[in-house]
Structure 1
Amino acid sequence: MKKQISITVYSTFVIMLIFFGCSTTPKTEKEQVQPTSIKSTVWDKNDSETISDSLILSALKADWKKNFSKKGKPIVVVGRIENKSGKDIDVSLLAKDIERSLINSGEVSFIADKPKREVIRTNRKNESDFPDNKKFKKYLKSLKADFFITGDINSNVDSSVVPIEKMYTMNLEIINAKNASVVWKGSQSLTK
């Protein structure tokens, strides 16, 4: 009797082993996780492109452009962008990104003479470089442009949040080269 019970238990165990051992394993589908880009904590090339594109898009929708469009495409010169942030930001890259955004928009023209463009790039100026408004107007007239863009970038640190956030703000002005009046002002912020 004991032998029969042990054979029954043994055979039940073997049958269960075969039955469960041969069953297919449940398929688990792995969810594809999209790679997350690591947010940089310092200013980089992508930030320069993003903030320039955003500001120029906003500037080109403003009235200064609409009012001038009756005469054709305005000729624009990008002046100096000042770094007031205290951080290591390549302002020449910012100026080039602004130029790129403007050119790619197809809505403005730049001075076609390459040597003239290079002189302007190396001698970028803004209104604060001149002792009075008359000399600034004379400089603008010498550029043979309709509008002049100048600006600055600054930063602010918010240490009340963890992790600490840095907010970069770029300010641009578009100045009418004929009368040195500001025709558009805009700013764009980016938090890192």
Structure 2
Amino acid sequence: MRKLFAILALGCSLCMVACSSGGKTVSRIDETSTTDLSGKWNDTDSRLVADEMILSCLKSAKIEKVIGEMGKTPTVVIGKVRNKSHEHISVETFIKDMERALLNSGAVDFVANSRERAELRTEVADQQGNATEETAKELNQETGADWMLTGTINTIVDQEGGQAVIFYQVDLELTDLQSHKKLWMGDKKIKKFISKDSVKL
């Protein structure tokens, strides 16, 4: 009897483990691989759009001409990128992808955005009364940006039954902070077709 109870107890334990996992299988994949499970905006879209649009901006004839006339490396800051689409999009991730593309290009210098600057200023102010004179950073010594990059993400959804087409359009603008002149405008379009039993967007 004791053996029978032991076997039953072991079987119940294994059943509980199997049921709690829900039959889920998890496997690691390459972070640069293209995965598109839902058809919605994802990390691949963010990375590819950022890389392509930053390259398009910095390689445009207008920007190359302006950089040549400046005689120095311009400093860029990223302003607001507004999500006007129908879905939740991690704008912060897209901004970071653009920051990385800008830094890695070597064509421009780059400064922290307004939120990051506020945090940095708090730290510098704190150093004035707490850090040694030799190591404390000075106030009012920031590098001002020459240009600001701003943008929007929009979508158009065409849905019928179990099929849908999602059209994404990302618009970016590069503006001179002194003159407020538009130096560059670019857009990137993505269209995705989704077909399944029940489409929920």
Q: TM-score range by the shorter chain?
A: 0.5 to 0.7
Please show how residues 98-177 of structure 1 align to structure 2 within 5 Å: 98-111=98-111, 118-119=116-117, 144-159=144-159, 163-177=163-177
**Size of the alignment, in residue pairs?**
136
Structure 2 counterpart of 1:59, from 44, 57, 60? 57
Report Cα offsets for 1:125-176 as digits up to 9, x if no partner.
Answer: xxxxxxxxxxxxxxxxx97111100000011113369731111110000001
Other structure's SS at 1:145 match: coil
* Structure 1 residue 62 displacement after superposition: 1.3
In the other structure, the counterpart of 1:26 is none
Structure 1 residue 39 corresponds to structure 2 residue 39: no
The structure with the greater share of residues assigned to strand is 2
Q: Percent identity?
A: 32
Which runs of 5 or more residues in structure 2 are unaligned? 1-32, 121-141, 193-201
Distance across 2 between alignment mates of 1:120 and 1:106: 26
Counterpart of 1:171 in structure 2: which amino acid? D
In the other structure, the counterpart of 2:94 is 94
Distance across 1 between alignment mates of 2:152 and 2:36: 24
Shifted more, 154-163 versus 81-90: the winner is: 154-163
Report Cα offsets for 1:71-116 as digits up to 9, x if no partner.
Answer: 12210001110000021001111111111111111111012xx697
Alpha carbons of structure 1 residues 145 and 43: separation in structure 2 relative to 1, 3 Å: same
* Structure 1 residue 64 displacement after superposition: 3.6
Alpha carbons of structure 1 residues 178 and 116: separation in structure 2 relative to 1, 3 Å: same
* Structure 1 residue 39 displacement after superposition: 3.2
For normalisation by structure 2, the TM-score amounts to 0.60
Alpha carbons of structure 1 residues 183 and 160: separation in structure 2 relative to 1, 3 Å: farther
Q: 2:79, 2:113 within 8 Å by CA — same for their partners in 1? A: no
Distance across 2 between alignment mates of 1:121 and 1:52: 25
Which runs of 5 or more residues in structure 1 are unaligned? 1-35, 123-141
Counterpart of 2:80 in structure 1: which amino acid? R
- State the structure with more CA Rg: 1
Other structure's SS at 1:159 match: strand
Alpha carbons of structure 1 residues 161 and 48: separation in structure 2 relative to 1, 3 Å: farther
Please show how residues 48-87 of structure 1 align to structure 2 within 5 Å: 48-70=46-68, 71-87=71-87
